[in-house]
Amino acid sequence: MVKVDISMNSQLEKSIQQLKESVEASIDQLLPLSDQRPDNLHSSMRYSLCDGGKRVRGILVLLCSKIFKASADPLPAAVAIECIHAYSLIHDDLPAIDDSDIRRNKPSNHIAFNEATAILAGDALLTEAFKILSENYKENPELGIRLIQELATASSSLGMIGGQMEDIENEGQAVVASTLDFIHENKTAKLIQAAIYMGFAFSEESKRHSNEIRQLGYHIGMSFQYIDDLLDVQSDTETLGKPTGSDSDSDKLTSVKVYGIEGTQKKVAEHTSQAEALLDQLGGEQSILRPYIQFLQNRLN
Amino acid sequence: MVKVDISMNSQLEKSIQQLKESVEASIDQLLPLSDQRPDNLHSSMRYSLCDGGKRVRGILVLLCSKIFKASADPLPAAVAIECIHAYSLIHDDLPAIDDSDIRRNKPSNHIAFNEATAILAGDALLTEAFKILSENYKENPELGIRLIQELATASSSLGMIGGQMEDIENEGQAVVASTLDFIHENKTAKLIQAAIYMGFAFSEESKRHSNEIRQLGYHIGMSFQYIDDLLDVQSDTETLGKPTGSDSDSDKLTSVKVYGIEGTQKKVAEHTSQAEALLDQLGGEQSILRPYIQFLQNRLN
């Protein structure tokens, strides 16, 4: 069994909750209001972005920006990456892709609105990510361009979208480890990596550690997806907010099918220990990041 | 009848053809290759972006960058705006939106590939636009951020996507001029405007003329859409590359329904003459831009 442990000490829990709330307050502040024309479109964008979600990517941006001295406010960057994550879920749930009616214990966007609105709301959240970055970092254009490049590259056809494409194409296919690795690395790990790179981009000092930061992002990103696959098999529907076993049922490639439960747990442990060794080398202010990463390794949903 | 005149003097025609070819060569160079993994996704992106299209937005970027002295190569910006235009056409044609099987005399993307691939190829072209801008202008980050802000704003929920949303919502509704104006201004005019603003952003001198440039973009963008509506009624299918009368048949709001043919022609003439007066004020190198704009006013498709 994967170790399922959601306990955090109350101080850490409070800090994480505060970071989550600050990301959500910024989302609310930066996104067009629901009554702005066209109000149906803006309601649909807010429906998927504002309510629910753990804000893992946004929180990672904030925590990594704090390791060395940040040169600007990282909150708009945290909002931008949450926009990308939210759009990808809306489009993944569409009938032509994963055809999922439930997301985060409520109707998926195309069920709550309709398919046309869901397609456009996804497009608009994707666009909004780059609008927010360009508006909020234009006084600091070198940083802004760097953030945009990290986010666009991670979520491009050579990143997240490419992973999603092969995930669809390999449904019902024979299990191949190299294909699974490609899907994991691109569909999920690259956006988690981008959160880490974007956070570090806020400090000059991180330029001296670019190798370690790249590797850190890779290991955290990979373990994150392996845990997702374990949870899909082991968790219950209510806790996960979507039908469990849905990935294994739909003939999607999952790491549990390829490596088994124990093999997948072993992969999580390997990537986690590599990430911890890299954090030892990096130093800086890790008092929240480090336990948060351990929490993510052990998360229940 | 709208004046349909595709004649250009041969020197102008040659210059425009050269600009078009330079945009297309840059698209080919900057976009991932068809055999890059996932090759089906990259083939689908190239299917809609590389073959066909007049490159009006890309050419406008190039021509406006030449009016005053450009500080960097405008070709990547021309490619980026063509990526946005191509993605919007792929998503517009989807069954849940306009349900169009034909685009540019060939099967729409979701017919040639499938719906899932078309959704992802659209997402990937949208993302690629910002990836290209951030990669190619990072040595000139102030310009880069400015280009990204112009493009993201024009194509956001408060721009192109918002216009498309209201276009769908108003199908079959009673004709209201203020709604039609909202749709025109957002769905089509804003991206044409963005092409003009992006081109001018390449020169320091344009900062002194920002008011005139804003107005110029507005008038050229508005007349462009009015002409589209006239062509939808008057042109033949083969010339237009999509079924004519399709907008009027589908109960979409068009300017011909609201203002009549003569009223729409009058609007074209008004916006054109305003644009020409603004060009007089601006000065600079207009030897190709000016006849090109006249050509656009009179284009057959």
Which pLDDT belongs to residue B59? 97
Residue of B nearest to A36 (CA): B158
Confidence of residue A2 (pLDDT cuts 50, 70, 90): very low
B235/B46: higher pLDDT: B46
Q: Which residues on chain B are in Cβ contact (under 8 Å) with A145?
A: 134, 137-138, 141, 144-145, 148
- What are the boundaries of each domain within chain B? 10-297
Cβ count near A122 (within 10 Å): 30
Residue B103's φ and ψ, nearest 5 degrees, are: -150, 125
Instruction: Return the CATH class of domain B10-297.
Output: mainly alpha
Q: Which residues contact B230 (CB under 8 A, 6 or more apart)?
A: B2, B255, B256, B261, B264, B265, B268
Minimal CA separation from B173 to chain A, in Å: 16
Q: Which residues on chain A are in Cβ contact (under 8 Å) with B168?
A: 116
Q: Which residues contact B224 (CB under 8 A, 6 or more apart)?
A: B56, B188, B189, B192, B296
Which pLDDT belongs to residue A103? 93
Minimal CA separation from A171 to chain B, in Å: 13
Cβ count near A233 (within 10 Å): 17
Q: Tell me the per-residue pLDDT of B95-150, one tens digit each, with 9 for 90 and over.
A: 999 999 999 899 999 999 999 999 999 999 999 999 999 999 999 999 999 999 99
Average pLDDT, chain A: 90
C-alpha torsion B133→B135→B141→B144, nearest 10 = 0
Tell me whether B153 touches chain A (CB under 8 Å).
Answer: yes
Confidence of residue B71 (pLDDT cuts 50, 70, 90): very high
C-alpha span between A15 and A290 (Å, rounded): 13
Cβ count near B3 (within 10 Å): 10
Q: Tell me the per-residue pLDDT of B161-174, one tens digit each, with 9 for 90 and over.
A: 999 999 999 988 88
Tell me whether B277 touches chain A (CB under 8 Å).
Answer: no
Residue B204 is classified by DSSP as G
Is residue B285's pLDDT more than 70? yes
Question: Of B108, B131, B166, B187, which to mutate for an interface test with A (greatest number of A Cβ within 10 Å)?
Answer: B131
* Amino acid of residue B46: R
C-alpha span between B158 and B142 (Å, rounded): 23
Which pLDDT belongs to residue A300? 43
Q: Which residues contact B235 (CB under 8 A, 6 or more apart)?
A: B4, B244, B300, B301
Confidence of residue B250 (pLDDT cuts 50, 70, 90): low
Find, among A75, A86, A101, A88, the residue nearest to A19 by Cα.
A75
Which pLDDT belongs to residue A248? 54
C-alpha span between A284 and A206 (Å, rounded): 10
Which pLDDT belongs to residue A3? 42
Question: Of A127, A140, A178, which to mutate for an interface test with B (greatest number of B Cβ within 10 Å)?
Answer: A127
- Chain-centroid distance, C-alpha A202: 19
Residue of B nearest to A91 (CA): B119
Q: Which residues on chain A are in Cβ contact (under 8 Å) with B153?
A: 131
The vertex-B233 CA angle with B230 and B238, nearest 5°, equals 105
Beta bridge partners of A103: A106
Burial zone of B293 (CB within 10 Å; 0-12 exposed, 13-18 middle, 19+ buried): buried
| Average pLDDT of span A63-72 | 95
Q: Alpha carbon of A105 to those of A4, A25, A108, A259: distances in Å?
A: 21, 22, 9, 29
Which pLDDT belongs to residue B240? 53
Residue of B nearest to A131 (CA): B152
| Average pLDDT of span A36-50 | 97
Q: Which residues on chain A are in Cβ contact (under 8 Å) with B134?
A: 145-146, 148-149, 152
Q: Which residues on chain B are in Cβ contact (under 8 Å) with A158?
A: 32, 36
Length of chain A: 301
Tokens of B111: 């017919």
The most confident of the ranges A268-272, A279-283, B30-34 is B30-34
Q: Alpha carbon of B254 to those of B29, B154, B168, B182, B250: distances in Å?
A: 38, 21, 12, 12, 10
ipTM over 0.95: no
Which pLDDT belongs to residue A195? 97
Task: Tell me whether residues B133 and A148 touch, CB distance under 8 A.
Answer: yes
Is residue A222's pLDDT more than 70? yes
Nearest CB to B38; choose among A32, A97, A166: A166
| Average pLDDT of span A208-232 | 90
Which pLDDT belongs to residue A225? 87
* DSSP state letters, B90-107: HHHHSTTTT---EETTEE
C-alpha span between A180 and A168 (Å, rounded): 12
| Average pLDDT of span A84-95 | 98
Is residue B39's pLDDT more than 50? yes
Q: How many CB pairs under 8 A join A and B?
A: 159
Q: Which residues contact A154 (CB under 8 A, 6 or more apart)?
A: A160, A190, A191, A193, A194
Is residue B151's pLDDT more than 70? yes
Task: Tell me whether residues A164 and B120 touch, CB distance under 8 A.
Answer: yes
Percent pLDDT > 70 in chain A is 91
Residue of A nearest to B147 (CA): A134
| Average pLDDT of span A214-222 | 93
Minimal CA separation from A169 to chain B, in Å: 9
Beta bridge partners of A106: A103
Residues 85-124 in B contacting A (C-alpha not used; CB under 8 Å): 87, 91, 94, 96-97, 114-117, 119-120, 122-124
Q: Which residues contact B12 (CB under 8 A, 6 or more apart)?
A: B288, B291, B292, B295
Is residue B38's pLDDT more than 60? yes
Within chain B, residue ranges assigned H as helices are: 10-30, 39-49, 56-65, 75-93, 109-112, 115-136, 141-154, 160-169, 177-183, 190-200, 210-234, 237-240, 246-249, 255-282, 289-297
Residues 27-56 in B contacting A (C-alpha not used; CB under 8 Å): 32, 36-38, 40-42, 45
Tokens of B48: 């809609």
Tell me whether B135 touches chain A (CB under 8 Å).
Answer: yes
Q: Tell me the per-residue pLDDT of A224-278, one tens digit each, with 9 for 90 and over.
A: 888 888 887 876 554 555 555 555 555 677 888 888 889 999 999 999 999 999 9
B151/B258: higher pLDDT: B151
C-alpha span between B1 and B300 (Å, rounded): 12
Task: Tell me whether residues B97 and A119 touch, CB distance under 8 A.
Answer: yes
The most confident of the ranges A8-22, A161-175, B71-85 is B71-85
Minimal CA separation from A279 to chain B, in Å: 29
Tell me whether A142 touches chain B (CB under 8 Å).
Answer: yes
Residue B276's φ and ψ, nearest 5 degrees, are: -65, -40
Tell me whether A219 touches chain B (CB under 8 Å).
Answer: no
The vertex-A109 CA angle with A232 and A238, nearest 5°, equals 35
Spell out a b/e string for A137-163, using b for 16 or more CB atoms within 10 Å of the CB, else e: beebbbbbbbbbbbbbbbbbbbbbbbb
Which pLDDT belongs to residue B5? 44
Query: Which of these ranges, A58-67, A107-116, B201-210, has the smallest mean pLDDT?
Result: B201-210
Nearest CB to B145; choose among A40, A138, A153: A138
Minimal CA separation from A74 to chain B, in Å: 17
Is residue B246's pLDDT more than 90? no
